[in-house]
Structure 1
């Protein structure tokens, strides 16, 4: 193995040193806990009328966003990238979600206003 090949192999090996087995398992159990919480809300809280459907929908959306953030950050290695790349990916997604929610709200407003 030449010095150049050794340097490339060492650089590639060092690229993923931040994701140890312990961190992977920790993220797995966090995702498992969030999923169990979603099932608890769906199967126990809603039938017993602890929450309204609107609150349950909000909780589902919030918990799903948390799961998506963990998956993107750790398993797609976005957490270990430079801040510029993170902002280039996250900010357009935030604006997209914001604009879609505004269109849904405005669509309901227009739909309810027409008689």
Structure 2
């Protein structure tokens, strides 16, 4: 094995060395907790009218974004990458969500303006 192959194999091993079993289980239980909160809201809070549907929708969207961030950060290893790569992945997604929200708002505005 050449010196270059040894260096490359050590680099790949060090790349994922920070993902330990305990960290994977910690992230799993965080995701499980967030899912249980969503399930509790859907099963108990909404039928008993503890809060409105608009608040529930906001909470669902926020919790879904939290779960997506954890999945991307830890299981897709984006947390362990350089800042430039993180920005190049996250920024287009933020703009996409922003533009979709603007189109939905504008579509509703035009719908109500026609009536």
TM-score of the superposition, structure 2-length normalised?
0.95
Query: What residue is the counterpart of 2:108 in the other structure?
Result: 108
Q: CA deviation at 1:51?
A: 1.4
The residue number in structure 1 matching 2:66 is: 66
How do 1:1-40 and structure 2 match up within 5 A? 1-40=1-40
Q: CA deviation at 1:9?
A: 1.8
Q: Distance in 2 between matches of 1:113 and 1:4?
A: 67
Q: 1:8, CA displacement in angstroms?
A: 2.1
Q: TM-score with structure 1 length normalisation?
A: 0.95
**Equivalents in 2 of 1:22, 1:51: separation in Å?**
36
Residue 25 of structure 2 corresponds to residue 41 of structure 1: no
Task: Quote the offset at 1:11 in angstroms.
Answer: 1.5
1:18 alignment partner, SS class: coil
- Specify every segment of 5 or more residues in structure 1 that has no aligned partner in the other structure, as ranges: none
Distance in 2 (CA, whole Å) between partners of 1:7 and 1:113 is: 65
SS of the counterpart of 1:49?
A: coil
RMSD: 1.0
